[in-house]
Structure 1
Amino acid sequence: MAERFDVLFEGLSEESSLKILLSDPRDLPNPVDKYMAATRLAACSSDESLQGLISAVDLDPEDLFNRITRRKAIEALGRRKNAQALDCLFKALEFDDEPSVINAADSITQISAPLTDSQCESLLKALKGSDPQKRAVIQAHTRLGLKSGTSFIQTLIHDENPLISGAARAFCARVEGDLDQLKPLIPQLHDLQAGRRRSAVIDLGDSGDINMLQYLIRSAVSMPLRAKSAFQLVDPTKKAEVPEEHINIITTLLQDDPRSLAMRDEWLSQQDPIEIENNLQHRDEGKQYGAALSLLKMPKSQQIEIIDGIRARLWSDYGANYLLTSLIGLACIHEREELIKTSLAETLPQYAKSRVAAAWGCLKLDLTDQLDLLKEISTSSQWVPLRWSCLQVLHNFS
């Protein structure tokens, strides 16, 4: 979803970015500009910028700013999706810098070009790294449909690290058609550890098994992560076209009502304003949804009081912004409908999920004065969950 943040770098021109990208960091007033330049060039299309990014993969990693820039350049090459970058990306698989290797595996996957036997062998060798690297390389094999790693990846389905075994199970399901391997991932969707829930959602999206959709949408992880996996299963062409039989379940996911999630008692909040506010900011989405659920059960007067207090302190926090926007719609709080309109009009990329909540809130609160904006977003947004939400809301209004 890095594309949603391109607007943050629009102030950098392609020409200046290329110059900064390959400059000695010691000669720059702000060396951080080097890796910002690499991110900026990901959104360009010229051959010159492509060659600049390829050259940046050879930056001397002894310098910290060069090393980070190299990682960002590798990531940017994946977004460019040009097969000319494959040679340098396969070279990066041999770096001793783990984030660069992980980015290289991801970028090779995004380019999605046919690989030679030699390249398949190089990707297979990268499976020998650390667990985070191993997971990324298994995912590359899964998403590219590479059978060359089958014999080794099959041995990993019982790995003690669920992030490894889960990725291996997704591979076996998608590449080998062994859907039974996905069964252990279903209870993992409700694990007490947030990281394990998130990885299970990702793995089920990679698995290609549409039957897993009903399970992953109920996991207490962030809506955008669940949406990414769900749309992988129902809309792989990314055209915001969901088959009729899956419209209701995708709608449930994107409306993101905590009452539709599989909640654990450990995540629930007392009906205490301080605890609710603290949990809405918790790093574990289970706690966030638990706080939202508690708020939904309160009388409207208390809901408004708590929402107003949190808004005064945390409205600029995009996590809290999203949850408040969502709650106003879900609870049909007409008294705060202006916040729905404010969120819908917010164009900063980090508030994109708030716009999803606002779109559904417009439907709940019958805000027909927002139809023009909903139509504009439905054609202009690059993020499929937002575009599809607006299309569905417009359809329901018609």
Structure 2
Amino acid sequence: MDNRFSNIFNLTEDQAIALLKKPLNTEDGTSERYVGAAHLINFPTERSINALIEAIEDRDPALENRIARRKALESLGRLKAVRALPTLRACLSDEDVLTVENAVWSIGEIGTEDESILEEIANLLGKPNQTYRVIIHTLANFDYKPAIDRIKPFTNYDEESVVSAAISSLARLTEDNSQMGRVVEFLQNDNINARRACIQDLIDVEYYPAISAIAKAPISIAFRLRGIRLLAAKGIGKGKITFGDIESSLDRIIRDRPQDIEMVHEYDQLPSLEFLIRELYHTDFGRCYLAGKTILETYPAQAPEALLKTYAEEAHNDYGAHFHVVKLLGLLKHKSSYDLIVEALHNDSPQFQKSRAAAAIALGNIHEIRAIPILKETLNTPIFDLKYASLLALEQLGESCWSEVANDQNLLIKAKANYKLS
């Protein structure tokens, strides 16, 4: 679990418990109780677990209390507090749907061999307006086969992410992958949440035929890279696939060129450059990739100035647009942006992590020889995509460094190096 932001307020255990127990009628009681519940994940003690259980058992219907209870449920799951299972189970019949969702998720995190609890979770599939995706996933993770017939109707539900979860969970429970092509098709769905969700489902089923489709999907590189890394690690580890089977897909994701993406959106008429620049700020990366592709194809001469302008005004502080601007300057081979790209390579703020690998690739694309020593320095990083991107960029600049990482701790970098050296 990534705990970088788990205690941003630097609270002690006593302070977090005190916040959780704040009376509801105090000013800002809503956020304070929630913050207390959230921060107790930093303290895996009996006192913290007791305080979280006590918070959940306070059934005051006020919104601020419901919000705190939901967070307390999640924190108990993250703490894997087995002792809290009876309390979590009691929440499965709660009238608040989000409370039920968090109770189901937390039971999944803690684990149980009590089939009566699993049967209660399965029965939630017959209740209206539940968060069915979480329920279905949890049942599949427990390999609870008695739920199969109750999951089947959701393969034709009206919410794509639920359909994806149902199909993939049935594949896991029945060991029949014949319907998984429908899940792969969600990679090209209009709904961004469906595109993102189905990647997790493909990982869960270990559906290796989806790897090339994941590489080309109009989804953020973070989702695609996580998908292919987990699938590759499982597949190679089990001898189901070889690195050669996934190399081109992995390279395609790391290079992340808009022209390699299968678009889900289209323009009915050619947009202005100004419109396309604004699209780079969109949260749907499918729209960002379409804008980037159109910029490269239609406005290559005017684009560098426009990109540098938006970088100076906004993109330097917007991690999504920052990533796309850095990448596009490299694809446009804009050598004058060398210093900006090097600065992006060295930006170690967590939210700008994607831009570092994009900057490495951009340095290779603008073919600046003076970047070689800088890229070689980054080979000491533990960050997978940055190291892999730097190795690709160095190769593009005429420097093969694969022998230096032939024994790398990361499975895929080691596999790539040995594949290149064989």
Shorter-chain TM range is: 0.7 to 0.9
1:236 CA drift (Å): 5.5
Distance, in Å, in 2 between the alignment partners of 1:269 and 1:339 is 33
Which residue in 2 is equivalent to 1:125? 123
1:132 CA drift (Å): 5.6
Which residue in 2 is equivalent to 1:390? 386
1:257 CA drift (Å): 2.0
- Residue correspondence of structure 1 range 72-91 to structure 2 within 5 A: 72-91=71-90
Distance, in Å, in 1 between the alignment partners of 2:268 and 2:205 is 31
Structure scoring higher RCO (CA < 8 A, sep ≥ 6) equals 1
Runs (5+) with no aligned partner, structure 2:
395-400, 402-422
- CA gap of 1:217–1:159, structure 2 versus 1, over 3 A, is same
Distance, in Å, in 1 between the alignment partners of 2:269 and 2:173 is 42
1:317 equivalent in alignment to 2:318? yes
1:137-156, Cα deviation, whole Å (9 max, x unpaired): 01112233322311211233
1:395 CA drift (Å): 5.0
User: If the length of structure 2 is used for normalisation, what is the TM-score?
Assistant: 0.79
Structure with the greater alpha carbon radius of gyration: 2
1:337 equivalent in alignment to 2:338? yes
The answer to whether the Cα contact below 8 Å between 2:265 and 2:287 also exists between their aligned partners in 1 is no
Which residue in 2 is equivalent to 1:101? 100
Distance, in Å, in 1 between the alignment partners of 2:279 and 2:177 is 37
- CA gap of 1:257–1:313, structure 2 versus 1, over 3 A, is same
1:15 CA drift (Å): 2.9
1:283 CA drift (Å): 4.0
1:349 equivalent in alignment to 2:357? no
Partner secondary structure for residue 216 of structure 2:
coil
User: If the length of structure 1 is used for normalisation, what is the TM-score?
Assistant: 0.84
Distance, in Å, in 1 between the alignment partners of 2:268 and 2:201 is 26
- CA gap of 1:341–1:132, structure 2 versus 1, over 3 A, is farther
Distance, in Å, in 2 between the alignment partners of 1:169 and 1:141 is 13
- Per mean C-alpha deviation after superposition, the further-off stretch among 170-179 and 95-104 is 95-104
Distance, in Å, in 1 between the alignment partners of 2:113 and 2:156 is 28
AA matched with 1:18: I
The answer to whether the Cα contact below 8 Å between 1:362 and 1:368 also exists between their aligned partners in 2 is no
- Per mean C-alpha deviation after superposition, the further-off stretch among 139-148 and 325-334 is 325-334
The answer to whether the Cα contact below 8 Å between 2:379 and 2:391 also exists between their aligned partners in 1 is no
- Residue correspondence of structure 1 range 255-294 to structure 2 within 5 A: 255-264=255-264, 266=266, 270=270, 272-294=272-294
Runs (5+) with no aligned partner, structure 1:
379-386
The answer to whether the Cα contact below 8 Å between 2:218 and 2:264 also exists between their aligned partners in 1 is no
1:191-243, Cα deviation, whole Å (9 max, x unpaired): 23333333333332332211122222222122222333333423359x9xx96
1:20 CA drift (Å): 0.9
Q: Taking every aligned residue pair, what percent have the same amino acid on both sides?
A: 24
The answer to whether the Cα contact below 8 Å between 1:17 and 1:38 also exists between their aligned partners in 2 is yes
The answer to whether the Cα contact below 8 Å between 2:378 and 2:390 also exists between their aligned partners in 1 is no
Distance, in Å, in 2 between the alignment partners of 1:212 and 1:189 is 10
Distance, in Å, in 1 between the alignment partners of 2:43 and 2:327 is 35
Distance, in Å, in 1 between the alignment partners of 2:106 and 2:268 is 39
Which residue in 1 is equivalent to 2:252? 252
AA matched with 2:338: E
The number of aligned residues is 384
Distance, in Å, in 2 between the alignment partners of 1:130 and 1:236 is 36
The answer to whether the Cα contact below 8 Å between 1:269 and 1:279 also exists between their aligned partners in 2 is no
Partner secondary structure for residue 180 of structure 1:
coil
Distance, in Å, in 2 between the alignment partners of 1:46 and 1:199 is 34
Distance, in Å, in 1 between the alignment partners of 2:320 and 2:287 is 13
1:169 CA drift (Å): 0.6
Partner secondary structure for residue 32 of structure 1:
helix
Distance, in Å, in 1 between the alignment partners of 2:86 and 2:242 is 38
- Per mean C-alpha deviation after superposition, the further-off stretch among 199-208 and 212-221 is 199-208
Partner secondary structure for residue 183 of structure 1:
helix
